[in-house]
Amino acid sequence: MFSLSLVITFILLNSSLLISASGGHGHGHGHGGHDHDHGHDYDYCRRSTKTETACEGSILRLSCPGCKIRILGANYGRTDRKTCIKNRPPHQIRETSCRSSSSLSIVSSRCDGRQSCNVPATNSVFSDPCYGTYKYLRVKYCCSRRRS
Protein backbone atom coordinates (compact mmCIF):
# COMPACT_ATOMS: atom_id res chain seq x y z
CA MET A 1 0.00 0.00 0.00
CA PHE A 2 2.88 2.35 0.80
CA SER A 3 4.44 1.86 -2.66
CA LEU A 4 1.12 2.51 -4.40
CA SER A 5 0.64 5.85 -2.63
CA LEU A 6 4.26 6.74 -3.44
CA VAL A 7 3.66 6.03 -7.14
CA ILE A 8 0.45 8.09 -7.14
CA THR A 9 2.24 10.97 -5.41
CA PHE A 10 5.06 10.78 -7.96
CA ILE A 11 2.60 10.82 -10.89
CA LEU A 12 0.69 13.77 -9.45
CA LEU A 13 3.91 15.67 -8.83
CA ASN A 14 5.09 15.12 -12.41
CA SER A 15 1.69 16.11 -13.80
CA SER A 16 1.69 19.37 -11.90
CA LEU A 17 5.23 20.12 -13.09
CA LEU A 18 4.22 19.50 -16.70
CA ILE A 19 1.14 21.67 -16.34
CA SER A 20 3.10 24.54 -14.83
CA ALA A 21 5.81 24.20 -17.48
CA SER A 22 3.39 24.28 -20.42
CA GLY A 23 0.81 26.69 -19.07
CA GLY A 24 3.10 29.71 -19.44
CA HIS A 25 1.82 33.24 -19.05
CA GLY A 26 3.98 34.82 -21.72
CA HIS A 27 7.11 34.62 -19.56
CA GLY A 28 10.33 33.53 -21.13
CA HIS A 29 9.10 34.13 -24.66
CA GLY A 30 10.97 37.39 -25.13
CA HIS A 31 7.79 39.43 -25.11
CA GLY A 32 8.19 41.49 -21.98
CA GLY A 33 5.66 44.16 -21.19
CA HIS A 34 2.65 42.10 -22.24
CA ASP A 35 -0.10 41.25 -19.80
CA HIS A 36 -0.83 37.63 -18.95
CA ASP A 37 -3.85 37.28 -21.26
CA HIS A 38 -1.79 38.57 -24.14
CA GLY A 39 0.79 35.91 -23.31
CA HIS A 40 -1.83 33.18 -23.67
CA ASP A 41 -2.93 34.76 -26.93
CA TYR A 42 0.65 34.70 -28.18
CA ASP A 43 1.06 31.03 -27.20
CA TYR A 44 -2.12 30.13 -29.09
CA CYS A 45 -0.98 32.04 -32.16
CA ARG A 46 2.48 30.55 -32.14
CA ARG A 47 1.00 27.07 -32.49
CA SER A 48 -1.15 28.01 -35.47
CA THR A 49 0.90 30.46 -37.53
CA LYS A 50 -0.09 30.83 -41.17
CA THR A 51 1.79 32.28 -44.13
CA GLU A 52 0.15 33.72 -47.23
CA THR A 53 1.80 35.04 -50.37
CA ALA A 54 0.52 37.26 -53.18
CA CYS A 55 2.51 37.94 -56.33
CA GLU A 56 3.04 41.55 -57.41
CA GLY A 57 -0.11 43.01 -58.95
CA SER A 58 -2.48 40.67 -57.12
CA ILE A 59 -4.32 41.02 -53.81
CA LEU A 60 -3.41 39.26 -50.58
CA ARG A 61 -6.56 38.12 -48.78
CA LEU A 62 -6.44 37.12 -45.11
CA SER A 63 -9.39 35.70 -43.20
CA CYS A 64 -9.98 34.54 -39.62
CA PRO A 65 -13.73 33.82 -39.32
CA GLY A 66 -14.90 34.43 -35.77
CA CYS A 67 -11.40 35.48 -34.67
CA LYS A 68 -9.04 38.40 -35.10
CA ILE A 69 -6.06 38.61 -37.41
CA ARG A 70 -2.72 39.24 -35.73
CA ILE A 71 0.11 40.11 -38.14
CA LEU A 72 3.43 38.61 -37.05
CA GLY A 73 5.61 39.53 -40.02
CA ALA A 74 5.40 40.90 -43.55
CA ASN A 75 7.62 41.67 -46.50
CA TYR A 76 6.92 43.15 -49.90
CA GLY A 77 9.92 42.42 -52.08
CA ARG A 78 11.85 39.27 -52.96
CA THR A 79 13.93 37.00 -50.75
CA ASP A 80 14.13 33.83 -52.88
CA ARG A 81 14.15 32.63 -56.49
CA LYS A 82 11.31 30.12 -56.03
CA THR A 83 8.25 32.28 -55.25
CA CYS A 84 6.18 33.95 -57.99
CA ILE A 85 8.49 32.98 -60.84
CA LYS A 86 6.07 31.65 -63.46
CA ASN A 87 6.66 33.25 -66.88
CA ARG A 88 9.23 35.66 -65.41
CA PRO A 89 12.59 36.32 -67.10
CA PRO A 90 15.68 35.53 -64.96
CA HIS A 91 16.65 39.19 -64.51
CA GLN A 92 13.31 39.89 -62.74
CA ILE A 93 13.89 37.23 -60.05
CA ARG A 94 17.66 37.52 -59.58
CA GLU A 95 17.57 39.99 -56.66
CA THR A 96 16.89 38.16 -53.37
CA SER A 97 17.64 40.79 -50.73
CA CYS A 98 14.72 43.04 -51.56
CA ARG A 99 12.62 44.29 -48.65
CA SER A 100 10.20 47.16 -48.21
CA SER A 101 10.86 48.54 -44.73
CA SER A 102 7.24 49.68 -44.40
CA SER A 103 5.73 46.23 -45.10
CA LEU A 104 4.92 45.27 -41.52
CA SER A 105 3.39 48.62 -40.54
CA ILE A 106 1.27 48.82 -43.71
CA VAL A 107 -0.10 45.27 -43.44
CA SER A 108 -0.64 45.61 -39.68
CA SER A 109 -2.60 48.85 -40.08
CA ARG A 110 -4.87 47.23 -42.68
CA CYS A 111 -5.35 43.84 -41.00
CA ASP A 112 -4.59 43.68 -37.25
CA GLY A 113 -7.71 43.08 -35.16
CA ARG A 114 -9.99 42.42 -38.14
CA GLN A 115 -11.67 39.19 -39.21
CA SER A 116 -10.58 39.66 -42.81
CA CYS A 117 -8.56 42.08 -44.91
CA ASN A 118 -7.30 42.61 -48.45
CA VAL A 119 -3.89 44.09 -49.20
CA PRO A 120 -2.79 44.83 -52.78
CA ALA A 121 0.73 43.60 -53.49
CA THR A 122 1.68 46.69 -55.47
CA ASN A 123 4.36 49.36 -55.64
CA SER A 124 1.65 51.99 -55.13
CA VAL A 125 0.96 50.57 -51.66
CA PHE A 126 4.50 49.65 -50.53
CA SER A 127 6.67 51.80 -52.85
CA ASP A 128 9.25 50.01 -55.01
CA PRO A 129 12.10 48.58 -52.91
CA CYS A 130 13.93 47.10 -55.92
CA TYR A 131 13.17 48.51 -59.35
CA GLY A 132 13.07 45.90 -62.11
CA THR A 133 12.53 42.97 -59.75
CA TYR A 134 9.24 41.05 -59.75
CA LYS A 135 8.10 41.14 -56.15
CA TYR A 136 5.63 39.41 -53.86
CA LEU A 137 3.98 40.13 -50.54
CA ARG A 138 4.51 37.43 -47.92
CA VAL A 139 2.65 37.74 -44.61
CA LYS A 140 2.98 35.61 -41.50
CA TYR A 141 -0.06 35.84 -39.24
CA CYS A 142 -2.31 33.99 -36.85
CA CYS A 143 -5.96 33.95 -35.94
CA SER A 144 -6.41 35.06 -32.36
CA ARG A 145 -9.40 33.95 -30.34
CA ARG A 146 -9.08 37.01 -28.17
CA ARG A 147 -11.94 39.43 -28.81
CA SER A 148 -11.00 42.41 -26.66
- The tens digit of pLDDT for each residue in 34-71 reads 333 444 444 456 568 999 999 999 999 999 998 999 99
CB 70 within 8 A of CB 40: no
What's the pLDDT score for residue 145? 81
| SS3 (DSSP) at 46 | helix
β-strand 136-144 against 68-78: which pairing, if any? antiparallel
10-residue averages of pLDDT along the chain (148 residues): 42 34 35 40 65 98 94 98 97 97 98 97 97 98 76
Q: For position 44, what pLDDT does the model report?
A: 56
Residue-level pLDDT at 48: 82
Buried b (16+ CB within 10 A) or exposed e, 71-85: bbebbbbbeeeeebb
Q: pTM of whole model > 0.85?
A: no
3-state class (DSSP) for residue 98: strand
